[in-house]
Amino acid sequence: MPIRKSWIEAANNPEGNFPLNNLPYGIFLDENGTGHPCVAIGDQVLDIGLLEAEGVIAVADGPVFDVPFINRFMEKGPAAWAALRARLTSLLAEGGSDGLRGNVPLRQAALMPMATVRMGMPFVVAEYTDFYAGRNHARNVGTMLRGPENALPPNWLHIPIGYNGRASTVVVSGTGIHRPNGQLKGPADTVPRFGPCKQLDIELEMGAVVGTANTMGQPVSVAEADEMIFGYVILNDWSARDIQAWEYQPLGPFQAKVFASTISPWVVTGAALNPFRTATPEREKELLPYLHEPGPMLYDINLEVGLAPEGGAESIISRTNYDRMYYSSAQQLAHHASGGCRMRVGDLLGSGTISGPGVNERGTLLEITWAGKHPITLEDGQTRTFLEDGDTVTLRGQARGDGYRIGFGTCAGKILPAVRYP
């Protein structure tokens, strides 16, 4: 699909993140900190709450964009999503409807330079589940823990493994992340101690945002799950590796994961990503029928990780692609609901760490430095095994089309010192 031309000139820039083909949803904050639903177009933010109030767009009989989140819109379902996308495309297209461009007062009030706007959380996170669904990542971590011959657990090739995280600490890009405190016990320690994490890490992931719910007790197929997903964000599931090493047996991650997860501010819709669908890999073990996919369910999205020390230049420490995943978000959602779990509007599903086969394609510092054994050197000569206070990590992603790209905005967070425990 070629680029769709817009009368907003910046939207036609082939190197821009937000062409008319994209139209991701977010929440901008006014001068009082109040959130308003919007879409991104070129270098502008379009206030769709104002368009709704003025009668230029309508999703339902009553307003859905008069609240500081997009959940109310998401719950209207795929037909409403498609109808609004078509209406916005018409309003913003070159030679399209004149309902916005020709109304100068409305146009001036509804469009704001993106560079001047602060973004908030795009949706209310109902629940958060994180998966462990990248084969390269799982093999790397398993090799460190159990050796290459036992790297993957016996169930890994049959089931999307996951755990329930905390919705309460999912934050939007730009939020500072305090180094977590926790119980630590090194190999030479006879008893654990309590203190700040020393091995603070990142996890490069994509997050699927559930837009419609199922009924408790009612499973969904992979195809139905795919229709339930409204869109995607970039996700950094910050991880405290030394806390995790002590606590994770036998039940898995807990304090090591719940202190923070960062998402990008724009939810890129499934409709915008459809041209970039690609298949999951060939299966070493045949999956059970309920996990079979009716078509390509992954996406070709280029991803990168940047790390900048306090006051220093950014170094790109990893580049990979979302197509490296072993299980798709639709499979993860279908598996999540398979036992009767009710999935809710605003549920967030973390893909699991996205790593490629090469050292420069790995999505965690744990893998890049091989548990600290091989430090990396940054642009200014500093070295890192894990994150230090003052470091800023920025994740970026884009799908490249014919003369355009679909971007997500940045997913960034700066590491702040640990809060002193009372």
At residue 219, φ and ψ (nearest 5 deg) are -70, 165
Q: Are 165 and 159 in contact (CB under 8 A)?
A: no
**What is the rounded radius of gyration, in angstroms, for the C-alpha atoms of the chain?**
22
Q: Are 218 and 347 in contact (CB under 8 A)?
A: no
Q: Which 3 state secondary structure label does DSSP give 104?
A: helix
CA angle centred on 360, ends 365 and 369, rounded to 5°: 30
d(CA 369, CA 410): 24
Which of 13, 191, 6, 25 has the alpha carbon at shortest distance from 89? 6
Q: Which position among 36, 137, 335, 336 bears the catalytic label?
A: 137
d(CA 226, CA 220): 10
The residues, any chain, with a CB within 8 Å of residue 116's CB and separated by 6 or more, are none
d(CA 334, CA 222): 5
- 158 among known catalytic residues: no
Q: Are 379 and 314 in contact (CB under 8 A)?
A: yes
Tokens 């290459």 appear where? 148
What is the residue-wise DSSP string for 326-349? SS-HHHHHHHHHTTSPPP-TT-EE
Which of 187, 355, 347, 168 has the alpha carbon at shortest distance from 257? 168
Residue type, 400: R
59-68: Cβ within 8 A, 24+ apart: 59/83, 59/84, 65/36, 65/37, 67/37, 68/27, 68/34, 68/35, 68/36, 68/37, 68/120
Total residue count of the chain as it appears in this document? 422
For residue 88, count other CB atoms closer than 10 A to its CB: 22
Tokens 């993140």 appear where? 17
Which of 88, 107, 84 has the alpha carbon at shortest distance from 97? 88
**Tokens matching residue 148:** 């290459």
Q: Are strands 128-131 and 348-350 parallel, antiparallel or unpaired?
A: parallel
Q: Point out the residues that are catalytic.
A: 137
